[in-house]
Amino acid sequence: MQRKCVFLDRDGVLNRERGDYTYTLEDFEVLPGVPEALALLKQNGYLLIVVTNQGGIAKGLYTKADVMACHQKLQDGCSQLIDAIYYAPSHPNHSESLSRKPNSLMLERAMARYSIDPTQSWMIGDSHRDLEAAQKVGIRSIIVGDKYAPDSYTWQVNDLWEAAQLILREEGK
C-alpha cells in the first residue's frame, strides 16, 4: 500500500530563516505553530519528511555534526514527529548534486524507501526551488512566507499551520 506524505523544507518552514546559514543550536529556532501543525498532519495519516539543502557543508562553513545537532533539536522540539530527514550537503559552487533542490533526488529516495504515493502527497517550501523539486516528481506544493508577491502561486500561505489546514481542506476533512 502506498502512503501519503508531506515533504517539508527546513529553513523558513520549520525553523526561523535567518537570511544566512542556520547551523548553531543558539540560532536554530523552531517557528511558532510548527509542532502543532506537524501533530495535526501526523494525526491525519501523513508521513513527515524533511528535505533540505545544506550547502554550507560543502563550503566548509559548518559540519555534518552541526546539521545533525540542529535536526535533533528540531525533533526534540516537535515530539519526534518527523519520520525522516534528508539533506544535500553540496553547493553549486563546490560540487554538483542531483540531491540538491531544485533537483528531486532527495524526494525520489524517500518516495522509494517509504512507498509514497505522489498523488496524495505535498511539498511545503519557502522558495521556488522547493516547488520545482516537487513538480519533477508529480507532487503538489505549497509556498509559505512572504518572499513572493501574493497570488504568485496556486497555494500560498503565511506559515506551516496554514499549510496544514489547506492540505486537510483539499483532502476533504
| Beta-carbon contacts of residue 13 (< 8 Å; ≥ 6 apart) | 31, 124, 125, 126, 144, 145, 160
Nearest-angstrom CA–CA distance, 26 and 48: 25
- Give me the pLDDT at residue 173, please: 61
User: Each residue of 87-98: pLDDT tens digit?
Assistant: 999 877 766 677
Q: Write down the H helix ranges in 85-159.
A: 105-114, 128-136
CATH number of the CATH domain containing 80:
3.40.50.1000
For residue 26, is pLDDT > 90? yes
pTM for this model (two decimals): 0.95
Total domains in the chain come to 1
* pLDDT computed for residue 18 by the predictor: 87
- Whether 159 is a known active-site residue: answer no
Could you read off the pLDDT of 95-126 as tens digits, one per residue? 667 788 999 999 999 999 999 999 999 999 99
Q: What is the pLDDT of residue 31?
A: 97
Domain of residue 72: give its range. 5-171
**CB 48 within 8 Å of CB 9:** no
Those residues with Cβ within 8 angstroms of residue 137's Cβ, 6 or more apart along the chain or in another chain: 104, 107, 108, 111, 118
